[in-house]
Every structure is written in C-alpha cells, then in structure tokens.
Structure 1
Amino acid sequence: MLLNQATPFFDDEHATDADDLRLLRRVADQDKQALAQLYRAYHGRLARFLNRFTRRPDLIEEVINDTFMVVWQKAGAFRGDARVSTWLMGIAYRVTLRALRDGSFRYQEFAADFEGEAVEPFVDHEQADWIDKGLRKLSPEQRLVMELAYVMGHSLEEIAQITESTVTTVKARMFHARVKLRNVMPMLAGVTGDER
C-alpha cells in the first residue's frame, strides 16, 4: 500500500487546478508530502470513479495505489494540456484497463459490476431503477462516456483524454448511447409504440 489506510481523505480540501498543479510540481521534485496531499485530495473521487468498474474495495485500493505510483514516476512529464484531475482520471482508467488485461479482475466481473451500478442516488427509486435498466443496455464504453459527461461533468475533450480516444470517438459513443436509450427507455417504462 502506498499510504497508510488510516490517513483521512478530504476530497474537498483542494481548491483549484492551480493548487493541484503546484502539488504536482512538488511531486515531480520527489516531495512525498505533496504526493500524500494529492492522494488525500483525489482518493474519494478516484474510488467513486473506479467503483463503476468493480465493487471490490481491495481492487479499487490497488488501482488507486498503482495510479499514484505512476503519478510519482511521471509527474515531471505532465505537460499541462489538461487539468490535473483529468490527467489523474486518465491514469486511473489506463491502470484499470491494464488490470483487466492482466487478469487482476475478470472482465465478467467488470461488466457485471459496471452494469449494476446506479448512476447517482435518486429520491424516486422507480425512476432510478428505470434509468439503471436503460444504462445496462449500453456497452461498457458507452456507459462510461455517458457517466463521465452527465454524472461527473467532464467535457468531451476531458473524456477523450481520460479514455485515450478522440473527441470524435467520444461523440460517436455518446450518440449511439443516446439512440439506444431513446429506443429502449419507453419499452422499459412499459410504453408501447401506440402510446408515444
């Protein structure tokens, strides 16, 4: 484990990307305290993101720790083309894909967990169930871009950086996801073609 699990996590402690950039520069200079601050600032956010891939806390912690090992090694290579948060999410995404390829967790587990995750807590449980059923009809790639955009609030450019794809690919995945949702959501709600 990279850091002591007893370390408290304060997601809202960091204020701006400029603060994150200063921390990252200190990490590039091998400042362990700066790495610990960045870890505390992003642990919860990365855990929520990774929970979309698996619900196993041990795997989530492993990926987060591997992510911060990469941050420790590559902080000096950060070009500043994106926000620090986008760069970190991209690293976590790639570490997750590598873990999937290496068999750290099976794809079936990944897909099952990914499909079963509710987008966000709703007061209306029927609506939440309906939306969740619709999202389960999407491919993992389509669902990921929809959640990154609509739940986590990332721009198309940020999603492209996180997923290491082009903006055109992100737009295509979102387009196909919307078309699929438009076709399946009425059926899931029990609405027939005559009622629409």
Structure 2
Amino acid sequence: MSLLDSVARQARSLLGGDTSPDSPEARERRLVARIAAGEQRALEDLYRAYHPRLQRFLGRMTHQPGLVDEALNDTFLVVWHRADSYNGLSKVSTWIFGIAYRKGLKALQRFDEPQADDAQDTRTEPGDGPEQQLASSQLQRDLQRALAELSPEHRAVVDLTYFHGLGYREIADIADCPVGTVKTRMFYARRRLRALLPGGKEDWL
C-alpha cells in the first residue's frame, strides 16, 4: 500500500470508519442507501443487526423495561423515514445510536423513572462454575443498582464507554454535545458509582 493510500484510508477512518467495499461500515452504508430508496428488506436487515445492541443500550440508559421497545421502534421509524438525511460524515452506528439516545430521553420524559431495575440481563457464560456465576450475577446486580442512581445522560455515557467501547468523540456525536461535556459527565458518573458500589467492586471503573 502506498503512502497516499494509507493516508486516504486514515482519512476515511476519521470521517466514518473503514469504507472499503467489503467493510462492515460500507455494507451498513449501502443498507441505509437502500432504505432511503424505500427497500423494506434493507430496514429489516439493519434492524436485526442493531436490535440486540440498542436493546441493551436503551435498557441500561432508561432503567424502564416498558420503554425499551417503544424507544427502539421509534428509532427505526426515524431510520425508515429519514434515511435520506444520513450524510455519511459519521459512522452509521453513531447516527443510529444518536437517534436511539434522543428517543430514549423523550420516552423518559413521559414516564416516571423507577428507583431500581432487577430485570436487566444477568446471564453468565455457560462455562462458568457455580461460584463464578454467583459472583458475576451479584456484581451485575450491584452495577445495575448503582447505575439506576445516575441520570439517563450519565448512564448513557457509562454504557457507551464500557459496554460498547466508544470513544468520547463518538459519544459526543451521539449525544449531540461537546466532548468536554462527555468527559464531565463521565467524571461525575464514575465518582458517583465508586461511592455506590460495595467495597472492592469499584475496581471495574
């Protein structure tokens, strides 16, 4: 690969990820283009690809199981009706998570938040022994209770960072706020979580 090709690939990565024809990002962009052209099958394919990730994200963000399906369906209604507004300046995932973030906040405005939610996914790996499963389940319950004490905006930053592996720049695009705001939210979220988690379990932060 020439130096020019290398620079071009890095530029494409900065703008929206690897967009070589066979990359996952390129395939997702083609799906969005097909959705903009009115192809329902393309919407179904994108829905299947993103449903598990968005379901977990919205579940942890809202802590209201009854709102998750509503917000998720509202997200894909926007994708269906506004696919032609996707400009390719960010990754498809950033665009979709940004829609989901706003729909989650809007859904929360219509309902009171619960104090805690024990209905989150606490599955463990099949290979874990009984002691490991018990410890893992207890840790997840402790985390869910601690996260329930945060605001939706703070929960979203924690979730996107630790469970989706996104950087502050991409989270800022999703939340439509400055990077500095994301860093501030993470600082206060981590400080609050450290105070809420039982001794020793705050090390995950």
TM-score, structure 2 normalization: 0.69
Q: Give the aligned partner of residue 135 of structure 1.
A: 147
Distance 1:166 1:119, change over 3 A: farther
1:163-174, aligned counterparts within 5 Å?
163-174=175-186
Cα-to-partner distance string for 1:3-48 (whole Å, 9 max, x where unaligned): xxxxxxxxxxxx7111100100111111111112111211222212
SS at match of 1:51: helix
Q: Give the aligned partner of residue 12 of structure 1.
A: none
Distance 1:167 1:31, change over 3 A: same
Q: How far apart, CA to CA, are the structure 2 residues paired with 1:49 and 1:84?
A: 16
- Does 1:78 pair with 2:86? yes
Q: Give the aligned partner of residue 4 of structure 1.
A: none
Q: How far apart, CA to CA, are the structure 1 residues paired with 2:144 and 2:71?
A: 25
Structure 2 counterpart of 1:25, from 30, 33, 48: 33
Query: More helix per residue: 1 or 2?
Result: 2
Q: How far apart, CA to CA, are the structure 1 residues paired with 2:157 and 2:173?
A: 11
Q: Report the CA distance between 1:159 and its aligned residue.
A: 1.3
- Does 1:189 pair with 2:199? yes
Q: How far apart, CA to CA, are the structure 2 residues paired with 1:83 and 1:68?
A: 16
Structure 1 counterpart of 2:163, from 132, 151, 154: 151
Q: Report the CA distance between 1:189 and its aligned residue.
A: 2.1
SS at match of 1:154: coil
Cα-to-partner distance string for 1:110-137 (whole Å, 9 max, x where unaligned): x644x97578857324444444454344
Following superposition, which runs of at least 4 residues in structure 1 exceed 6 angstroms of deviation?
Answer: none
Q: Give the aligned partner of residue 41 of structure 1.
A: 49
Q: How far apart, CA to CA, are the structure 2 residues paired with 1:27 and 1:81?
A: 18
- Does 1:161 pair with 2:173? yes
Aligned length: 168
Q: How far apart, CA to CA, are the structure 1 residues paired with 2:140 and 2:108?
A: 28
Distance 1:129 1:180, change over 3 A: same
8 Å contact kept, 2:116–2:148: no
Q: Report the CA distance between 1:170 and its aligned residue.
A: 0.5
Distance 1:93 1:23, change over 3 A: same
1:92-103, aligned counterparts within 5 Å?
92-101=100-109, 103=110
Q: Give the aligned partner of residue 68 of structure 2.
A: 60
Q: Give the aligned partner of residue 113 of structure 2.
A: 108
CA RMSD of aligned residues (A): 2.8
Q: How far apart, CA to CA, are the structure 1 residues paired with 2:121 and 2:138?
A: 12
Which runs of no fewer than 5 residues in structure 1 stay unpaired? Answer: 1-14, 191-196
TM-score, structure 1 normalization: 0.72
SS at match of 1:107: coil
8 Å contact kept, 1:160–1:166: yes
Give 2:193's aligned amino acid. Answer: L
Distance 1:19 1:128, change over 3 A: same
